Each structure stands twice: as C-alpha cells, then as structure tokens.
Amino acid sequence: MDATDIQNLRQDYKASSLHEADTHANPVKQFEAWFNEAVKAEIHEPNAMTLATSTHDGRPSARVVLLKGFDEKGFIFYTNYLSRKGKEIAKNPHAALVFFWGDLERQVRIEGTIEKLSKEQSEAYFHSRPVGSQIGAVASPQSQEIANRDALEKKWQQLEAEYEGKEVPKPAYWGGYVLKPQLVEFWQGRSSRLHDRILYKKADKNNWKKVRLAP
C-alpha cells in the first residue's frame, strides 16, 4: 500500500450518538455502562488499554496493558515495577489511558495520577493468576535486554521445576497500580467527522463537571 492509498483510508461513523442528557453524572458510572456494552458486543479484549507514561523531563512512551478492575478510586493494572513504565511512574506519576472499541466506534481517554496498590491487594491478584503467568513474572526481567529467547525459556523451565507443587512467591518488584482520574473523555464517532465528545473534569473530591468538546 502506498502513501496515496493510506491517506484515502477513512470510515464514516454512523453506529450511535452521545448526548449529555444520556450520560451519567459520574464518569466511572458512564465508563461502566460503556465497558459492559463492549463486553456484550464481544469486543476482542475489551479491557485492553493504551497506557501512556513519561519521564520526569516529559519524554513519552506508550504500550497496551490490560485493565484488571475499576471503581470510584480509579483504574487498576499490574506490572513489573522495574519495567520502563514502572520506572517512569516512579519519577512522574502523571499518566493517561486510552480505550478504543472500534466495532462500537467509541473511545475513552482518561488522565490522572498513578499510585501503587497495597502489597496485600497485589498478592491476592498475583496468586489468582495461572501458575504459568506467575512463573513468567518471576522469570522475566521486564524491559531489560536479554541474550535470547532460549535463555528466557530455560529460566522459566527452571522455575517451573523449582516451584512444582509449591506456591510461587510474588516478587517484590511486581504488583498493581491504580490510576486516579482527573479527566475522562467519552468519544462517539459520528458522520462527517462531527464526532460527539463529552469531557468530565474533576471539580472537587466528590463532584465532576461535564462539558461538550468540539470534534
């Protein structure tokens, strides 16, 4: 495909619309409604989200991770604290999430600050995972350079034998984070690029202000 073909790729969105009167006062409730619709629509991995972090001097990076829970406190995910994202979060807790559910022509953007979950909550989730995934978290020095895949697989096999019939201990460098939202935007694709964008801004500890943005 050449550049001309790429620039002509486009789709006219007509699946739905989004009106202020039809949205919840609380963005977490609105997210729950949309998330449940994405699950019902059998979107592939509806909990897949882009997590954008940056260094203390503003150099950004982004990757797709999986949402593992959400409530009024925020949006939860788990990772290696020594990974690139973990190191960036330690230096700069401001981050953003993006969900894109293409079949529903919807996007959700969330901005806020990230904090670590408690050790107890991280322990509980770690041991709820398949044993193979637990071993993988121990075996992989995430984001660090390694010699080759063979070395990684040998390490995994060694640990599998070591922990056979035993509980895999959660590494101290692995656990959960919660992103506490300050801004949440719901985007619904519309015809002729006149998309609907409803933005929630944190007004105070318990309240949100809801506004419409131009597409």
Active site residue 193: yes
Distance of alpha carbon 176 from alpha carbon 53, whole angstroms: 15
Instruction: Give φ, ψ of 99 to 5 degrees.
Output: -110, 135
Distance of alpha carbon 45 from alpha carbon 38, whole angstroms: 9
Residue 215 makes CB contacts below 8 A (sequence gap 6+) with 190, 193, 194, 195, 196, 197
Sign of CA dihedral 23, 50, 171, 181: negative
DSSP letter assigned to residue 59: -
> Of residues 106, 149, 193, 197, which has the active-site annotation?
193
Known catalytic residues are 193
